[in-house]
Amino acid sequence: MDAKTENQRGWLYVLPVVVLVACNAVIPLMAVVNYSVQETFGNNVFFFEGVKWFQQVLHSERFHAALLRQLAFTGIILVIEVPLGVAIALAMPRRGPWVSVCLVLMALPLLIPWNVVGAMWNIFALPDIGMLGRLLNGLGLNYNYTQQPFSAWATLIAMDVWHWTSLVVLLAYAGLSSIPDAYYQAAKIDGASSWAVFRYIQLPKMKRVLTIAVLLRFMDSFNIYTEPFVLTGGGPGNSTTLLSIDLVKIALGQFDLGPAAAMSIIYFLIILALSWIFYTVMTRGEGQS
């Protein structure tokens, strides 16, 4: 019998990157942890406060409201973008010159910087001079995202769907392209319907890429800051003040570093826990034969 020895030399090439990423992550994290358990009044003088800031954040109605808005936004985004992205990927051609055209068009929104996306939609949706705002008001709809919370939410969701559905489309299309033609030929011989092909061939083969898509969209939408800040600034009122915007307001606007640090750690733990739940649920049963 041939005994195979694993070659660990590849870790030597990865190690510098791992060390660099670890330093970039650990050092800022330790600074945040340091601020989360202390209070300072300037002159680099700190006073130990223990878990006071964590208790303050967890019992704050402001934090609860921002967290609920964040969960609602992320839930709506996932419900819209994942099915829409899969549907668009299914409609895209698999062969021919139109494949490149479709892929380029899908990739274009992803190339636009986040702050530019927010500025574009800010002008595009203005009720008096924006093309979208004038169109909706011209159709008889009372639309003004600067004053109406529902309009602000609808605009924010439409902006995110326009910007990030392409990511789901590209991942789903990659999963569909990896399915061998033999599966489709066998389904055609058996007389399977389009729904049966999707249910028993395409969807199972896309499971892993859809897991990646859901995790990426969940984490990104839960961390979203630039686009809604540029578009609405958290308004009107606090109707679109998501968790990230509220955190920045506490840290930079009020300069309450202790509560902001505690809130950021709680924020991180929420994302970590929900990402683990998503991954566990979506990969359940993969190890079974």
Region 79-99: what's the mean pLDDT? 92
Q: Does any domain span residue 7?
A: no
What is the residue-averaged pLDDT of the chain? Answer: 89
In a domain, 27, yes or no: no
The pLDDT score that the predictor gives to residue 85 is: 95
Q: State residue 108's pLDDT score.
A: 92
Domain assignment present for residue 46? The answer is no
pLDDT at 69 (0 to 100): 96
Six-digit token string for 155: 């605009």
Rounded CA separation 191/184 (Å): 10
Q: How many CB atoms are located within 10 Å of the residue 287 CB?
A: 6
Q: If you average pLDDT over residues 35-50, what whole number do you get?
A: 79
First to last CA, the chain: 27
Question: Element (H or E) spanning 40, and its range?
Answer: strand 38-40
Torsion of CA 76, 154, 140, 120, to 10 degrees: -140
Residue 103 lies in a domain: yes
Rounded CA separation 234/56 (Å): 22
Task: Tell me whether the omega of the peptide bond preceding residue 236 falls within 30 degrees of 0, making it cis.
Answer: yes
| Core vs surface per residue 90-116: b (16+ CB within 10 A) or e | eebeeeeeeeeebeeebeeeeeeeeee
| Residue 213, pLDDT above cutoff 50 | yes
Q: What is the mean pLDDT of residues 78-86?
A: 95
Q: Distance (Å, rounded) from C-alpha 166 to C-alpha 176?
A: 15
Confidence class of residue 289 from pLDDT cuts 50, 70 and 90? very low
**55 lies in some domain:** no
Q: Residue 38 pairs with which residues in a beta bridge?
A: 48
Q: Is residue 282 part of a domain?
A: no
The domain that holds 211 is classified in CATH as 1.10.3720.10
- Average pLDDT for residues 85-91, to the nearest whole number? 94
The share of the chain scoring above pLDDT 90, in percent, equals: 59
According to the model, what pLDDT value does residue 94 have? 85
User: Residue range 111-132: average pLDDT?
Assistant: 91
How far apart are alpha carbons 225 and 231 in whole angstroms? 10
pLDDT for the residue numbered 288: 54
Q: What pLDDT is attached to residue 190?
A: 86
Give the pLDDT of residue 239: 92
pLDDT value at residue 92:
92
pLDDT digits (tens, 9 = 90+) for 155-186: 999 999 999 999 999 999 999 998 898 998 99
Asked, for residue 232, whether it belongs to a domain, the answer is yes
Comparing 45-49, 129-133, 212-216, 223-227, the range with the smallest average pLDDT is 45-49
Q: What is the dihedral of CA 265, 232, 153, 135, to 10 degrees?
A: -160
Query: Is residue 63's pLDDT more than 50?
Result: yes
The range of the structural domain enclosing residue 97 comes to: 62-255
Domain total in the chain: 1
Region label for 234, one of left (φ > 0), alpha (ψ between -120 and 50) or beta (otherwise): left
**Distance between CA atoms of 167 and 164, rounded to whole angstroms?**
6
Residues whose CB falls within 8 Å of the CB of residue 193, separated by 6 or more in sequence, listed in order: none
Q: Alpha-carbon distance 173 to 169, whole Å? A: 6
16 found inside a domain: no
Band of the pLDDT at 131, cuts 50, 70, 90?
A: very high
Q: Enter the DSSP assignment of 238.
A: T
CB 228 within 8 A of CB 242: yes
pLDDT digits (tens, 9 = 90+) for 227-255: 999 999 998 989 999 999 999 999 888 88
For the chain, percent of residues with pLDDT exceeding 70? 95
Query: Is the pLDDT reported for residue 273 higher than 90?
Result: yes
